[in-house]
A and B are shown apart, each in its own frame.
Chain A
């Protein structure tokens, strides 16, 4: 329960940080040692400075391509644009955070069928990637894509639509249950919050999307959210959000609601939203500190430490990441977690300095990741991707192996290619199979491999070291590329 010490900080922990706080290192490496230069540079700093170097960046208002035209191909352009930012961008942590926020506020093109809405929301996540999370919740609440996705535009005076009001509390801020397995809110709180959120809608004007507040569609009545119900003892009386009749200005009512939600205390008197977000950050970037979602409580310590940072920093996401990346738990073996499809694909292409290829944009931008279970901008539902072990099925693993095989073989017509001759990764002075194997393992940040598996890889290169024939193009094409493919399919490569 402490921060990682300089004594424990090394090449391996630095590589681990780059994998989790981004998509792996940049793929540049030192010919003589085979070490990735970016990893080495971080490893030579203190942990504080290493983490700070990743978090140092300006605000980005970059928005991906997106028009009001519908169609798979139009979305593929946007999806591919984002993937390539992850692969080649200067700040992979920013894009990783955009991915987190997309996972958190899961919105899908299955319903929001126009790319401009999604690219605008994506740009909002990018702008506030390290910013104030409360502010972000407010912006998302009146974001056009979200108003469309969760029916906010249909929510009006006397005819409330509860969809957004429920997910705002359940998925974006509080969660259904607290860590004491008590409900954080009741159905009545959903209905009342829906009334607060009435009046917002979006329209299209000259190729742009405009969000507007219509006074006449808004419910100006009095509302009580988190009011203790008769016979109910779990709701803290101080949680009450009271919206007076004719609240002014009415277009700020939603902001008052969001501010109120962030003061909600759970039945243990802890800040509910901060705990909820802290757990989600840990879960996305590292591991889930709570083993089963509903009853068992395992490691509330790391959650509360991060929740405290969130509260004291006014919900600064940058401050939260900084604190999380410095915790020793972030680097512990026990917290290993399964790489998601995006992390696997982007990380592999990045670290091998490859390129995404394929015959059409849809092949790459949509199908490749969709088949592995994670089409960007198209989560299965508002609960988003379930993550961790749910990524691993026979089908999705086969598709990962397929991608690994294509990437290693440099099959450009399929998914990808390594971009250049695989020989360039090799140490020309290597004389043993083990040297070749270890070089690729270092390059792809596979550490702590068991002896039997390492021997299996060595055996793949030939029965003894005299079989090593790096000057022979056929040997390189089959054995060396085959080795690369095997490493990309190692169970150890699919966790970080």
Chain B
């Protein structure tokens, strides 16, 4: 039996066992019978902070509490090194450490996220990681992507498995997710087609002028598509992948491009620095802003009634966090001057600023859009945190080596804002690891299992049943984990 290309994609998606769809999908189906389960509903943006983020300098102990954390912090992270002074933290203070009562604050450059925190849209998870930490970037990233601390399960990603569940029984060749880096990460490995690209303007199917002018453009594209179908139907694994990717390109790309042309203009404006997006003020020329702008454009394109696109899950990365050296501390230079001079002495602070600006601008864009408002959750993660004690001479060249636990952010609509019953409850969760009570390698002891965060997201935000969520997480039952968070109701 020969499949057509579309049938093949459908068939490959149907290979994973269909389970009961959450009510949100059925409601959407009823409202617009032509929509695919993949093609509407809520959105999720996963931000990978790449290289191992120094979480201690993102959510910072402001006072001791019973954990003695500020005192220990000042001992091992020195002024002139990577120390963020307690005195600079007043404006970004959040709730106390739930376990040890010490005061906590976001990095002083995270004023945008502090505003989201105050508004009840930001949940801060402290001390998140997994048992038997691995300090390799690659291994630990894979553990996070697969939600598999022992790397003993299937090689698929936790989101790949989630998509296989959500999109099972789909009726078209919807592509429900985009990895906004050029290369596909294992997060999405599974049976469901996922796009990977970082710029909308690259999305045009190329046909030479000579062929176009001779009126043969359509014939050329047809030949190309048929050849891809042949590979999908009969080729070896790699050929199938190339064929399927080629098909998706020829099929979907022009639709993406057209539907988002207006937004692509905005994207260019952002790139040139002529259009600050979301929040007024500092122009956002850095790549995370551009990527999130692309995500925004794609989310717009995926709205019901305008759905050639069908994306709702996005992975976005921001690199540069492997701060073994020259990590920087905090200077009192006004922020505008810092922006102009690229944050001398505050390398990690600059990255914190970029995350803050980009996320709050993206959030503001989503809020300003009548149809997207209340549909979107953002979660951050990093493959690991960093060593508690700074390395080197306790000077401007000091950095931190690989570590373990780190905080995670989840941003989303609170009660009354969400389009579905589930919503974010802002606040501080987990427990801040005791900085003077480390493991044998000088690293923090994790407090909250990362699969718990995934579990709430999969079950409560994406609406997968608790049973299936448990199976997606390799039989880890987040509901029975005593260190629960409940940041999503």
A-side residues, CB < 8 A to B, are: 150-151, 154, 156, 159-163, 166, 170, 176-177, 187-188, 190-191, 292-295, 333-334, 336-338, 371, 373, 380-383, 385-386, 388-399, 401-402, 404-406, 408-409, 411, 450, 452-453, 456-457, 459-460, 474, 477-478, 481-482, 485-486, 489-492, 494-495
In the assembly, what is the distance between CA of A401 and CA of B50, in Å?
30
Chain B residues with CB below 8 A from A481, complex form:
208, 210-211
Residues B111-152 near A (CB distance < 8 A): 134-139, 142, 151-152
Contact check, B245 vs A394: say whether CB atoms are below 8 A apart: yes
Closest 10 CB pairs of A and B: A395-B197, A393-B196, A491-B231, A491-B242, A409-B208, A402-B206, A163-B324, A294-B151, A187-B441, A405-B206
Report the minimum CB–CB distance from A195 to chain B (whole Å).
12
Contact check, A482 vs B211: say whether CB atoms are below 8 A apart: yes
In the assembly, what is the distance between CA of A380 and CA of B210, in Å?
37
Contact check, B223 vs A456: say whether CB atoms are below 8 A apart: yes
In the assembly, what is the distance between CA of A380 and CA of B48, in Å?
15
Chain A residues with CB below 8 A from B319, complex form:
380-381
B36 at interface, CB cutoff 8 A: no
Contact check, A405 vs B245: say whether CB atoms are below 8 A apart: no
Chain A residues with CB below 8 A from B401, complex form:
161-163
Contact check, B402 vs A162: say whether CB atoms are below 8 A apart: yes
Q: Which of B137, B204, B246, B322 has the most CB of A within 10 A?
A: B246
Contact check, A492 vs B231: say whether CB atoms are below 8 A apart: yes
Report the minimum CB–CB distance from B278 to chain A (whole Å).
25
Chain B residues with CB below 8 A from A176, complex form:
134, 136, 138-139
Chain B residues with CB below 8 A from A388, complex form:
238
B-side residues, CB < 8 A to A, are: 50-51, 134-139, 142, 151-152, 155, 179, 182-184, 195-199, 202-211, 214, 216, 219-220, 223-224, 226-228, 230-231, 234-236, 238-239, 241-243, 245-246, 248-249, 252-253, 319, 322, 324-325, 391-393, 397, 399, 401-402, 441
Chain B residues with CB below 8 A from A156, complex form:
392
Contact check, B238 vs A495: say whether CB atoms are below 8 A apart: yes
Given A161-B391, A409-B208, A397 contacting B441 (CB threshold 8 A): no
Contact check, B220 vs A398: say whether CB atoms are below 8 A apart: no
Chain B residues with CB below 8 A from A163, complex form:
322, 324-325, 401
Chain A residues with CB below 8 A from B324, complex form:
150-151, 154, 161-163
Chain A residues with CB below 8 A from B155, complex form:
292
Among A399, A460, A482, A494, which residue has its beta carbon within 8 angstroms of that of B202?
A399
Report the minimum CB–CB distance from A167 to chain B (whole Å).
9
In the assembly, what is the distance between CA of A162 and CA of B323, in Å?
11
10 contacts between A and B (CB under 8 A): A151-B399, A154-B399, A188-B441, A294-B152, A380-B183, A395-B196, A398-B197, A401-B205, A402-B206, A456-B230
Report the minimum CB–CB distance from A75 to chain B (whole Å).
19
Contact check, B198 vs A395: say whether CB atoms are below 8 A apart: yes
Given A162-B401, A166-B402, A389-B241, A453 contacting B184 (CB threshold 8 A): no
Chain A residues with CB below 8 A from B208, complex form:
405-406, 408-409, 411, 481-482, 485
Known: A394-B252, A460-B219. 5 other contacts (CB 8 A): A177-B139, A389-B238, A393-B182, A393-B197, A482-B220
Contact check, B207 vs A405: say whether CB atoms are below 8 A apart: yes
Contact check, B227 vs A478: say whether CB atoms are below 8 A apart: no
Among A398, A460, A490, A494, which residue has its beta carbon within 8 angstroms of that of B249?
A398
Report the minimum CB–CB distance from B63 to chain A (whole Å).
29
Contact check, A450 vs B230: say whether CB atoms are below 8 A apart: yes
Among A159, A187, A383, which residue has its beta carbon within 8 angstroms of that of B393?
A159
Report the minimum CB–CB distance from A482 to chain B (whole Å).
5
Given A162-B402, A393-B197, A495 contacting B210 (CB threshold 8 A): no
Closest residue of A by beta carbon distance from B219: A460
Contact check, A159 vs B206: say whether CB atoms are below 8 A apart: no
Chain B residues with CB below 8 A from A399, complex form:
202
Report the minimum CB–CB distance from B204 to chain A (whole Å).
7
Report the minimum CB–CB distance from A384 to chain B (whole Å).
10
Chain B residues with CB below 8 A from A411, complex form:
208
Closest residue of A by beta carbon distance from B391: A161
Report the minimum CB–CB distance from A331 to chain B (whole Å).
15
Contact check, B242 vs A495: say whether CB atoms are below 8 A apart: yes
Chain A residues with CB below 8 A from B135, complex form:
166, 187, 190
Contact check, A397 vs B392: say whether CB atoms are below 8 A apart: no
Closest residue of A by beta carbon distance from B146: A294
Contact check, B253 vs A398: say whether CB atoms are below 8 A apart: yes
Report the minimum CB–CB distance from A29 to chain B (whole Å).
24
In the assembly, what is the distance between CA of A190 and CA of B207, in Å?
53
Q: Which of B209, B219, B324 has the most CB of A within 10 A?
A: B324
Chain B residues with CB below 8 A from A390, complex form:
183-184
Chain B residues with CB below 8 A from A477, complex form:
210
In the assembly, what is the distance between CA of A404 and CA of B230, in Å?
20
Closest residue of A by beta carbon distance from B209: A409
In the assembly, what is the distance between CA of A489 and CA of B397, in Å?
49
Among B182, B226, B231, which residue has its beta carbon within 8 angstroms of that of A373?
B182
In the assembly, what is the distance between CA of A159 and CA of B155, in Å?
39
Contact check, B210 vs A396: say whether CB atoms are below 8 A apart: no
Closest residue of A by beta carbon distance from B213: A478
In the assembly, what is the distance between CA of A240 and CA of B206, in Å?
58
In the assembly, what is the distance between CA of A490 and CA of B225, in Å?
10
Closest residue of B by beta carbon distance from A388: B238
Contact check, B249 vs A452: say whether CB atoms are below 8 A apart: no
Report the minimum CB–CB distance from B12 to chain A (whole Å).
15
In the assembly, what is the distance between CA of A456 and CA of B220, in Å?
10
Closest residue of A by beta carbon distance from B387: A162
Contact check, A495 vs B239: say whether CB atoms are below 8 A apart: yes
Chain A residues with CB below 8 A from B391, complex form:
154, 159-162
Contact check, A398 vs B236: say whether CB atoms are below 8 A apart: no
Chain B residues with CB below 8 A from A396, complex form:
182-183, 196
Report the minimum CB–CB distance from B136 to chain A (whole Å).
5
Report the minimum CB–CB distance from B10 to chain A (whole Å).
18
In the assembly, what is the distance between CA of A170 and CA of B135, in Å?
10
Chain B residues with CB below 8 A from A161, complex form:
324-325, 391-392, 399, 401
Chain A residues with CB below 8 A from B184, complex form:
389-390, 392-393
In the assembly, what is the distance between CA of A420 and CA of B166, in Å?
52
Given A151-B324, A188-B441, A394-B248, A337 contacting B214 (CB threshold 8 A): no
Report the minimum CB–CB distance from B154 to chain A (whole Å).
9
In the assembly, what is the distance between CA of A201 and CA of B50, in Å?
27
Chain B residues with CB below 8 A from A460, complex form:
219-220, 223
Report the minimum CB–CB distance from B255 to chain A (whole Å).
12
In the assembly, what is the distance between CA of A486 and CA of B225, in Å?
10
Chain B residues with CB below 8 A from A333, complex form:
236
Contact check, B242 vs A478: say whether CB atoms are below 8 A apart: no
Contact check, B202 vs A392: say whether CB atoms are below 8 A apart: no
Chain A residues with CB below 8 A from B199, complex form:
395
Contact check, B253 vs A337: say whether CB atoms are below 8 A apart: no
Given A161-B401, A460-B223, A452 contacting B239 (CB threshold 8 A): no
In the assembly, what is the distance between CA of A190 and CA of B134, in Å?
13
Chain B residues with CB below 8 A from A491, complex form:
227-228, 231, 235, 238-239, 242-243, 246
Closest residue of B by beta carbon distance from A160: B391
In the assembly, what is the distance between CA of A146 and CA of B223, in Å?
48
In the assembly, what is the distance between CA of A486 and CA of B211, in Å?
12
Chain B residues with CB below 8 A from A177, complex form:
139
In the assembly, what is the distance between CA of A411 and CA of B212, in Å?
14
Report the minimum CB–CB distance from A433 to chain B (whole Å).
13
Given A392-B242, A456-B226, A401 contacting B234 (CB threshold 8 A): no
Contact check, A489 vs B246: say whether CB atoms are below 8 A apart: yes
Contact check, A486 vs B183: say whether CB atoms are below 8 A apart: no
Contact check, A395 vs B136: say whether CB atoms are below 8 A apart: no
In the assembly, what is the distance between CA of A457 and CA of B50, in Å?
44
Report the minimum CB–CB distance from B139 to chain A (whole Å).
5
Contact check, B216 vs A486: say whether CB atoms are below 8 A apart: no
Contact check, B441 vs A154: say whether CB atoms are below 8 A apart: no
In the assembly, what is the distance between CA of A162 and CA of B135, in Å?
11
In the assembly, what is the distance between CA of A109 and CA of B147, in Å?
32
Report the minimum CB–CB distance from B220 to chain A (whole Å).
6
Contact check, B152 vs A295: say whether CB atoms are below 8 A apart: yes
